[in-house]
Amino acid sequence: MLPRTGVCVLSIPLFAGDSSPGLRASEPLAADLSAQLAAADVPATWTYTITQLARMSEALSNQLAPGELALLAPRAWAGGHANRGQFATGLASSLSEAEKLRLRPTTLVFEQRPATLHDDLLAKTGISVVCFPGPSRTSAPSARQARQALPSGGCLRALRWGLWELDGAIDLAEAGWRRAVKAIDRAAREGGEAAISIDLKKWSGGLKPIGRLLGHLAGLRAEQRLTIQTIADLAASRATSRQAPARSILRIAA
């Protein structure tokens, strides 16, 4: 049996947090990074809010390629205080606005981990992947979080209703280049998954460390030890692999 190839996904949040200088402050970096990704033929998942995407310059929105555009679920309607009705209304409104922009996002990135996921509502709207932020740095992880924390960075697991969860991506700005590379190398060595988040609002300098990371990814891909996918593509490939054994068993039974 051939060894399983590792997978890396790059997540790039473009939304402005409560204490960030805002999206427009990181637009030049986003354009530069998008150009680097395009030159290296590296896909990524870019996360946005509908309001911010509408305000973005047309030139920048056209440059956010190659890759996937994911939708942000903000605290306002998907935070711990939001009830089911608020969640349903906020989700429907955001997806309706996305459709007006000729977008059909299938990945939903939560700004804050919700008290209740409402996964049945998500499945009905076409969302297939949900992503959550890592544990708060101000609190110790629970025993469950400690057991699930994988050094390979990020764990894609199946939920109900055909949904997938990508949890705990490594923040490149906070964790540093070495830790990100270590996670990627482990994924390539063990056939696992590494999820790296590149939050441009946290970058005060240039993109040199990110360029080094892209070069490392390109080298592993050239050696056929790693593939680079969007979050949606990774979930689709995992869904296909889960269905394959069932079809094999049916053929044998026949």
199-246: pLDDT as tens digits = 888 877 778 889 999 999 999 999 999 999 999 999 998 887 665 454
Tokens describing residue 188: 């390539």
Which residue type, as a one-letter code, is found at position 10?
L
CATH number at residue 63: 3.20.20.370
Is 1 contained in some domain?
Answer: no
Cis peptide before 3 (omega within 30 of 0): no
Is 49 contained in some domain?
Answer: yes
Tell me the C-alpha distance between 104 and 200, whole Å: 24
As a whole number, the mean pLDDT across the chain is 79
pLDDT band at 50 (very low <50, low <70, confident <90, very high): confident
Residues in the chain: 254
Residue 60: what pLDDT? 55
pLDDT score of 35 more than 80: yes
DSSP state of 56: S
Q: Which secondary structure element, helix H or strand E, spans residue 44, and what is its range?
A: strand 44-48
Containing domain of residue 239, as a range? 6-253
The strand pair at 107-110 and 155-158 is best described as unpaired
Tokens describing residue 84: 């089911």
Number of domains in the chain: 1
Tell me the C-alpha distance between 13 and 71, whole Å: 10
CA-to-CA separations, 195 to 106, 132, 163, 198, in angstroms, rounded:
17, 12, 18, 10
pLDDT score of 77 more than 90: yes
Q: Is 38 helix (H, G, I), strand (E, B) or coil?
A: helix
Beta bridge partners of 129: 107, 164
Beta bridge partners of 121: none
Tell me the C-alpha distance between 80 and 97, whole Å: 24
pLDDT band at 2 (very low <50, low <70, confident <90, very high): low
Closest CA to 125 of 82, 68, 87, 166: 87
Residue 32: what pLDDT? 86
The strand pair at 155-158 and 164-167 is best described as antiparallel
Is 166 contained in some domain?
Answer: yes
Residue 9, number of CB atoms within 10 A of its CB: 30
Residue 190, number of CB atoms within 10 A of its CB: 12
Closest CA to 197 of 164, 167, 163, 221: 167
pLDDT band at 7 (very low <50, low <70, confident <90, very high): very high
Residue 134: what pLDDT? 62
Of the candidate ranges 62-71, 74-83, 139-148, 171-180, the one whose mean pLDDT is the lowest: 139-148
Tokens describing residue 236: 């689709």
Is 183 contained in some domain?
Answer: yes
What contacts 214, CB < 8 A, 6 or more positions away? 36, 37, 40, 42
pLDDT score of 143 more than 60: no
pLDDT score of 73 more than 90: yes
pLDDT band at 252 (very low <50, low <70, confident <90, very high): very low
Residue 43: what pLDDT? 94
pLDDT score of 173 more than 80: yes
Is 55 contained in some domain?
Answer: yes
Q: Mean per-residue pLDDT for 52-65?
A: 61
pLDDT more than 70, % of the chain: 74
Give the residue, 106 or 20, on which the prediction is more confident.
106
Is 57 contained in some domain?
Answer: yes
Is 173 contained in some domain?
Answer: yes
- Phi and psi (nearest 5°) for 194? -130, 130
92-141: pLDDT as tens digits = 999 998 888 888 899 999 988 888 899 999 999 999 999 987 653 333 34
Is 66 contained in some domain?
Answer: yes
Residue 241: what pLDDT? 67
pLDDT band at 15 (very low <50, low <70, confident <90, very high): low
